[in-house]
Amino acid sequence: MTEFTFGNVTATRIEESYEPNFAAAEFFAEWSPAIVERHRGWMVSDHYDPASGKLKLSVHSWLVKIGGKRVLIDTCVGNHKPRPHRPMWDRMQTPYLERLAAAGVKPEQVDVVMCTHLHVDHIGWNTRLDNGRWVPTFPNAKYIFGRADYDHYLALDRDPKTGPVNGGSFRDSVLPVVEAGLAQMVTGPGALDEHLTYEPAPGHTPGTIAIHLAASGARATFCGDILHHAVQVHHPEWNSFACLDAAQARQSRRKVLEHCAGAGALLMPCHFGAPFVCHVDTEGGRFRPRF
């Protein structure tokens, strides 16, 4: 279990999976053998598997304990979810909730769930299967969703030509939360409390948010999919195949990197390989990760 302490605040990584899972050359259009050779020292084998040519990406949540509150940032893929478009995620059965319990939190003790965006691998544990129905996994939590994401995917999901969206995850992992009255839609910048703030970071999706932590003089940024892989620290111009608005995604990525480099904030993504986080340094006008 990976845990970071910021004064009286802790952030614990709750793993769902960590394995080679996406072909690098399909994930990034700019990928090349030269990139591997240039970055082999840090990339192999925690971030890239040369044998398969796949990126080694983690799928995890961050559990943030602030005073008496327990905040869960992003909720992975989830168990039993039909995801035939991604066989590696289809009807998964992982000990995610057991890992959450090992971090000292039961589902009913989660106070807030913050989803950086509404893609399949960031909302899955929002719900669980109960007698054939998808019900909120965290029944006492307030779920924070970006309004722009919700409106975007709701419109697409209702259109017979485009729905169901995101492999069906909008229907089984978002709508049941909304129907239970647990969702809070946010627009613009805002604050959960004096330690956690959020701001729009569109591009990967229309309603992606960046979440910033400040406590005891320390800072961290939870970036969701604004960056998928540590190579994007070196190459912030790289978008993944899943970024909807290329120009906005690059702008939001650079903004996050500039913030982390300028404020000394720890970058805490949801998919980086071990050690799963990094600081961001600048050198010759370029960024580089410091693990």
pLDDT, one tens digit per residue, over 105-160 is 999 999 999 999 999 999 999 999 999 999 999 999 999 999 999 999 999 999 99
Q: For 227, phi and psi rounded to 5 degrees?
A: -130, 130
Provide the token pair at 259.
């913030």
Indicate the average pLDDT of the chain: 97
DSSP assignment of 96-142 equals HHHHHHHTT--GGG--EEE-SS-SGGGTGGGEEEETTEEEESSTTPE
Provide the token pair at 274.
């071990």
The residue among 121, 113, 287, 117 whose CA lies nearest residue 202 is 117
Residue type, 16: E
The residue-averaged pLDDT of 216-243 equals: 97
Percent of the chain with pLDDT over 90: 96
Task: Report the pLDDT value the prediction gives residue 1, as an integer from 0 to 100.
Answer: 78
Taking the domains of the chain in order of start, what are their residue ranges? Answer: 3-290
| Cis status of the peptide bond prior to 275, with omega within 30 of 0 | yes
pLDDT tens per residue across span 188-222: 999 999 999 999 999 999 999 999 999 989 999 99
The residue-averaged pLDDT of 158-185 equals: 98
Q: Which residues of 50-89 are buried (b: 16+ CB within 10 A; e: fewer)?
A: eeebbbbbbbbbbbbbbeeebbbbbbbbbbebebeeeeeb
DSSP assignment of 183-198 equals EEEE-SSEESSSSEEE
Percent of the chain with pLDDT over 70: 100
Residue type, 153: Y
CATH top class, domain 3-290: alpha beta
Query: 79 pLDDT band (50/70/90 cuts)?
Result: very high
Match 């239970």 to its residue by tokens. 180
